[in-house]
Structure 1
Amino acid sequence: MGKVILITGASSGMGKETAKKLISEGHTVYTVARRIDQMQDIGQIGGHPIMMDVTDEADIDNVVNTIIRKEGRIDVLWNNAGFGLYGSVEDVPLDEARKQFEVNVFGMAAMTQKVVPYMRKAGQGTIINTSSMGGKMYFPMGAWYHASKHAVEGLSDCLRLELKQFNINVVVLEPGFIATEFGSVLLDGFAKIRKDSAYRQMMNKIEDGTRKAAEGNGSSKPAVIANAVTKIINSKKPKTRYRVGKFAKPMVWMRTYLGDKLFDKIVMSQL
C-alpha cells in the first residue's frame, strides 16, 4: 500500500529527485517549496506540488490541512528544506544568521508540530530530518550553517525519544557532498561580504575547492539520497541515522575518533 508523504524543500536537488522516485513507486507525494514554478514537473508525473514557506505558519497550516482533508493522513514527513549560510562569524550579519535558524531549525520544528498530532492519532508515522555530515563536524566559514545542523541533530534525538511511545520513527539523514545548488549558494554568500572582509584569503581557497568539487567527481548524485529515503520509508524499524554521499562516513569518523586538534589540523590542511 502506498504511503502519503510530505516533502519540504522539493524544488530542486535531493527533494525533487526523491519525490520523483517515490511517485514512481506508487506513493502519494506532496511537495512544498517557495518556488512552485520549479515543481511543475512533479505535478506532471502525478505528484502534488504546493507553494509553501517553512517560516510562514499560515502556509504550513494550509498545506497540512489540505493533505488531511484529501488523504486523511500523513504517513511520512521529510523535513528537507534548508540552505547553507557561509561567511566568518565576524562578517555575517546576525539578521542573516537568524534567518538560517528560522529555516533550518524552526521551520523544521513548525512542520513537525503541525504533523505529529495526526501521526499520534494514527498510532504510526515516520519523520525524516535532513541534517548533514556538517551536523557532526565543522569547517571554517560555516559557523552558522554547522550550528543550525548541530541543532537539528539535538532536536531530532530528543524528538525520537518523545515519539517512540506513539510508534513514530524519527530518522536523521546526514548527507555528505551532494551535487545540488548548495555550492552556488555558498559562493553567492561570499560575494556579499568579500569586499571588506579580513578573511578574503581563506574565502578564496574555499571557493576554489568548491568549484573543483562541482567540476570534478567531488560530489555524489542526488539519487543516493533518493535511495536512502526509499529505504527508510520501506523499513519497519529504520536506523536512527543514515550517513549517505561523498565523504560523509569518513569525515564523521575522523571527527569522532581523532580529537579536536588533529581534526583541526586535517581541515586546515585543505586550505
Structure 2
Amino acid sequence: MVHLYLAFPAPRGADSKVCPMSSKVALVTGASSGIGEVTALKLQELGYTVYGAARRVERMSRLAEAGVHVLPMDVTDTASMQAGVDGIIAESGRIDVLVNNAGYGSYGAIEDVPLDEARAQFEVNIFGAARLIQLVLPHMRAQRSGTIVNISSMGGKIHTPLGGWYHGTKFALEGLSDCLRMELKPFGVDVVIVEPGAIRTEWGGIAADNLRKTSGDTAYAVQADAMAESLGSESTARRSSPPSVIADTVAKAVTARRPRTRYAVGFGARPLIFLRRALPDRAYDALVARAMGTPTGARH
C-alpha cells in the first residue's frame, strides 16, 4: 500500500524454523514471497504444520527446505483451491488457521484501467479469499474452533489517487471480514483483519511499473508519475517495515485466546488511519495530494 511522506519512525523484523505433524494446521496463501513466505516460516517456527500455497511452487523452495508443505494453488481457480483444501484434510485431518494473503495491487486511473483488469483485481483480492473461506469453514465449524486471518491493508481504511480498484478490494475485504466475524461467533471461529502499512516487498515495485504502463501516457500522467515514485519507494528501509512485522502480528493473533478484531501494523498504518478518521474528506484529500506531490486540480 502506498504511504505518505510524513515523519513516522521505522520498525523491525523476525524469521523461521520447523514443526511436528501432530500440531495445529495452518494454510497460508501467497506464500511464494514477501508477507506470505515470512508468515509461513513464522508459524512453522511456532510448531504449526504449515501449508504454503502459491501459483509458482518453484518459488517456494525456501519453505520446502524449512519443512513447510508447499501447494500449487491459484485463488482464481476453484478446482485448484478445492484440491488444496481436500489434500490438507486428507493428510492432516484439520485446518486450524487460514491466512488469506494472496493479492496484488492494480494501480491506474479509474478511467484508464480496463474493466477486465478491475474484475481480475476483485477476483484475486476478494472472491479468491471468499471462496477459500467457504471451503475451510465446514471443517472449522465441525472442530468448533479456528482462526481466519484476512490480510487487508491500511488501504482498506484510507484512499489515494489512482488506486481506486485496489482500495475498492480492500474496503470490501474489511466489510466482508466484519460480517463474517459476527456470523462465525456461535461456532467458535475467530476472524482477524491485519492492515499492513508500507511493507518492504516486491509489491510496490510491481504496482509502480503497472501504474506507469496503465496511466503513464494518459491525461493522468503527472499523478501517475508521482504515485509510481511513492509506490516504488516502499522498498527502502527508511519508509517501510520488513514483512516480519506482519508475520509477528499474525502469530500473535492466532495464538491469542481472544485476538483483536483488527491490527494496523507497519510503517504509517496507525497514524494514516487515524488522520483519515480525524480529518474532513477534502482536508484529507489535500494532505495526500501535498504529501505525494500530485496535482490538487482546478476549482470550478
Q: Normalising by structure 1, report the TM-score.
A: 0.97
After TM superposition, list the pairs within 5 Å mapping 1:90-239 onto structure 2: 90-194=111-215, 196-239=217-260
Deviation of 1:222 (Å): 0.5
Partner of 2:63: 42
Q: Secondary structure at the match of 1:243?
A: strand
- Taking structure 1 as reference, are residues 161 and 59 closer, same or farther at Cα in structure 2, changes over 3 Å only? same
Alpha-carbon contact 2:208-2:232 (below 8 Å) kept: no
Q: Normalising by structure 2, report the TM-score.
A: 0.88
Q: Which amino acid aligns with 2:188?
A: N
Number of aligned residue pairs: give it: 271
Deviation of 1:236 (Å): 1.2
Q: Secondary structure at the match of 1:17?
A: helix
Moved more, 86-95 or 261-270: 261-270
Q: Counterparts of 2:234 and 2:64 in 1: how far apart (Å)? A: 32
Q: Counterparts of 1:137 and 1:72 in 2: how far apart (Å)? A: 40
Gaps of 5+ in 1: none
Q: Which amino acid aligns with 2:85?
A: V
Deviation of 1:211 (Å): 3.3
Partner of 2:273: 252
Alpha-carbon contact 2:108-2:162 (below 8 Å) kept: yes
Computed over aligned residues only, the root mean square deviation of the Cα atoms, in angstroms, reads 1.2
Q: Counterparts of 2:237 and 2:63 in 1: how far apart (Å)? A: 29
Alpha-carbon contact 2:156-2:171 (below 8 Å) kept: yes
Partner of 2:100: 79
Q: Is 2:22 aligned against 1:4? A: no
Deviation of 1:22 (Å): 1.4
Partner of 2:38: 17
Gaps of 5+ in 2: 1-21, 294-300
Moved more, 60-69 or 208-217: 208-217
Partner of 2:17: none
Alpha-carbon contact 2:199-2:235 (below 8 Å) kept: no
Q: Deviations over 1:87-106 (max 9, x none)?
A: 00010000000000000000
Identical-residue share of aligned pairs (%): 49
Q: Counterparts of 1:223 and 1:16 in 2: how far apart (Å)? A: 10
Q: Which amino acid aligns with 1:111?
A: L
Kindly indicate whether structure 1 or structure 2 has the higher relative contact order, using CA contacts under 8 Å at least 6 residues apart: 2
Q: Counterparts of 2:124 and 2:214 in 1: how far apart (Å)? A: 21
- Taking structure 1 as reference, are residues 62 and 265 closer, same or farther at Cα in structure 2, changes over 3 Å only? same
Deviation of 1:195 (Å): 5.3
Partner of 2:77: 56
Alpha-carbon contact 2:150-2:177 (below 8 Å) kept: yes
Deviation of 1:26 (Å): 1.4
- Taking structure 1 as reference, are residues 254 and 195 closer, same or farther at Cα in structure 2, changes over 3 Å only? closer
Q: Deviations over 1:199-223 (max 9, x none)?
A: 1111111222233442351100011
